[in-house]
Amino acid sequence: MLIILNGHVVDPETGLDEIADVQIVRGRISRMYIHNIGEHYGTDKFDDRDWKKHVYNPYNNEDIENVPDKNERIEVIDAKGMYVLPGFVDLHVHLRDPGLTYKEDIATGSRAAARGGVTTICAMPNTKPVVDNVETLKYVLDKAEKEAVVHVKQLSAITKGMEGKELVDMQAMLDAGAVAFSEDGKSVMDVRLCREAFEKAASMDALIMAHCEDKELVGKGVLNEGVASARYDVCGIPNAVEDIIMARDIFLANDAKTRLHICHCSTKGTVELMRMAKALGANVTAEVCPHHFTLTDADITEANSNYKMNPPLRTEEDVRALIEGLRDGSMSAISTDHAPHSDEEKAAYFDKAPFGIVGLETSAALTYTALVKTGLISMMDMARLMSYNPAKIIGIDEDYGKLALGARADIAIFDPDEEWVVDTAEFASKGHNTPYEGKTLQGRVKATIVHGRLVYSDGIEAINEDI
């Protein structure tokens, strides 16, 4: 059994926002003791505790086996001054396994996730080979079961080889455990084939996660079309590259009644399009990455390809629009698009280096620093955007993304007061490609618990106590 004492518990599902103790038995939350409605009991008083009194039990689940044996030993974590949050659910992660494990693998990627408080990661299918068949899908899921310290959900490609010519066997992939379908890294440019995929997904109640990029319009684009592309003499990527395909996909999804999620939105136009989608009644959600609401193309003041990602860093106007979209609910989730590359690959100039940055180990701190500390959103909003909403989008919200009684005990303990400097030498990820190297952030994940087990700790000890 594990007890977390004195933490500020934030649960978006039930609205709990109080100092409380959390009891975990057999990997699930079995009791909460809220300080402001009753006496706070220390661990030396468990023998005398009235288990029915002062219990936070929104579902009145009396069938949970939560009374421990009196001889059982427990682990105790004191989270005083810290937030106890539902473990983050990252909808957009590149684990590079199979085939590209020099960049990342399931073990290192999952450890990076744990350092960032991410307890569930959704892995994109653009590996080598592509996850477009049951055999490769099972390889990832089996390996994750053995090596990952967090939950790994795997997406399937939409088309075979991600070549945009022929659909995968979507039903077989769904039956084998694929959690969604995506062609991440590109769009399905054949609109007829894309429509067919959306209709097939709708018939199975499956989720499509779309990377929106007009291949012809992007051309050889490298950085945002504007100050950065001019400064470094590279081809620019206009906002319309993203906006055009997003509009197309929203209308296709609305016609087919498809569940659609738009990945890594970066433009003001995408926020307006999401408002349009909601007005249409389309079942569409969208995510924003921390780098797109914390940096602009004007911040690229050196020829450093760690600032190269796809979509690119946009303008201040785009950043303001994205933040407002997160605040008003137009944008539903914060994800990382964690995309590790080798140091050698990223050492190349902008026009040669690959797109992408790592994000698992910095996303919580960036969100807190940029949005919560500044008062733009609340801690409840952060938990909703990083935990609860992503779990609902991917369809796993019955057991993930919340801290309600009976829920799986996936938890991030977050210290809002700690300032720290990003040092990629300390990363668990193989990728060091981040533009935040050397930057000071506030707020840090101090412990991560997955299904009741402490999988990461930064200075927090789980102390064994006798009941």
What CATH number has the domain bearing residue 387?
3.20.20.140
Does any domain span residue 330? yes
Average pLDDT of span 8-23: 94
Q: Give pLDDT, residue 42.
A: 34
Q: Give pLDDT, residue 30.
A: 87
Does any domain span residue 355? yes
Q: Give pLDDT, residue 464.
A: 67
| 108, pLDDT greater than 90 | yes
pLDDT band at 36; cut points 50, 70, 90: confident
Question: What pLDDT digit, counting tens, does each position of 374-415 carry?
Answer: 999 999 999 999 999 999 999 999 999 999 888 999 999 999
> Range of 327's domain?
87-402
| 338, pLDDT greater than 90 | yes
Does any domain span residue 63? no
Does any domain span residue 68? no
Counted domains in the chain: 1
Does any domain span residue 422? no
Percent of the chain with pLDDT over 70: 91
- Residue 337 is a catalytic residue: yes
Q: What is the 3-state secondary structure (H, E, C) of the chain?
A: CEEEEEEEEEECCCCEEEEEEEEEECCEEEEEEEHHHCCCCCHHHHHHCCCCCCECCCCCCCCCCCCCCCCCEEEEEECCCCEEEECEEEEEECCCCCCCCCCCCHHHHHHHHHHCCEEEEEECCCCCCCCCCHHHHHHHHHHHHHHCCCEEEECECCEHHHCCCCECCHHHHHHCCCCCEECCCCCCCCHHHHHHHHHHHHHHCCEEEECCCCHHHHCCCCEECCHHHHHCCCCEECCHHHHHHHHHHHHHHHHHCCEEEECCCCCHHHHHHHHHHHHHCCCEEEEECHHHHHCCHHHCCCCCHHHCCCCCCCCHHHHHHHHHHHHHCCCCEECCCECCCCHHHHCCCCCCCCCCCCCCCCHHHHHHHHHHCCCCCCHHHHHHHHHHHHHHHHCCCCCCCCCCCCCECCEEEEEEEEEEECCHHHCCCCCCCCCCCCCEEEEEEEEEEECCEEEEECCCCCEEEEC
pTM above 0.75, yes or no: yes
Q: Give pLDDT, residue 15.
A: 92
Question: What pLDDT digit, counting tens, does each position of 149-199 carry?
Answer: 999 999 999 999 999 999 999 999 999 999 999 999 999 999 999 999 999
Does any domain span residue 19? no
Question: What pLDDT digit, counting tens, does each position of 191-220 carry?
Answer: 999 999 999 999 999 999 999 999 999 999
Q: Residues 337, 381, 410, 415: which is the catalytic one?
A: 337
Question: What pLDDT digit, counting tens, does each position of 128-155 carry?
Answer: 999 999 999 999 999 999 999 999 999 9
| 47, pLDDT greater than 50 | no
